[in-house]
Amino acid sequence: MSDHHHRASYKHSHNTSDCFLSADEVETLSLITALSSVNSSHSIFELTVNSVSVSQSVAQSLIFSSTVSFFTVSLLTSILISSVFSAVSQIYDHSSSHHIISDQIYENLLRFLISSSHTETHF
């Protein structure tokens, strides 16, 4: 009975040792835990990098959009100023030509009146 008791005790103690991990199993489990920890921090790092990348992309798009808007406004302003100067120049040239024409008409009218008055005196 003592032998049976010893075997049962050994079997029982052997069964309880199965509940604990061996050194190799502990090392393997530690390695798996470390790898999953690195993997999850890698995922967080990737998320952060992707977020920064998206932020940079948005910032670049905004800068590009602002630059395009600035050049568009500059171009439109330049065209508007050029159009205004052109219109003012044409008005000035047109009024100047009217003055020239009216001066010529005035001179011709004076000649006509003078010649007309000379003609009357001859009659």
User: Where in the chain does DSSP place strands (E)?
Assistant: none
pLDDT digits (tens, 9 = 90+) for 66-123: 888 888 888 888 888 888 888 877 777 666 555 566 677 777 777 777 776 655 554 4
Question: Do residues 29 and 21 lie in contact, with contact meaning Cβ atoms separated by under 8 Å?
Answer: yes
Which of the 8 DSSP states describes residue 111?
A: H
pTM of the model: 0.32
Q: What is the reported pLDDT for 15?
A: 52
DSSP 1-32: -HHHHHHHHHHHHHHHHTTSPPHHHHHHHHHH
How many structural domains compose the chain?
1
Tell me, what's the pLDDT at 123?
47
Q: Tens digits of per-residue pLDDT, 2-57?
A: 555 545 454 545 455 555 656 777 677 676 666 565 555 555 555 555 666 667 77
Q: Which amino acid is at 40?
A: S
Domain that holds residue 96: 2-122
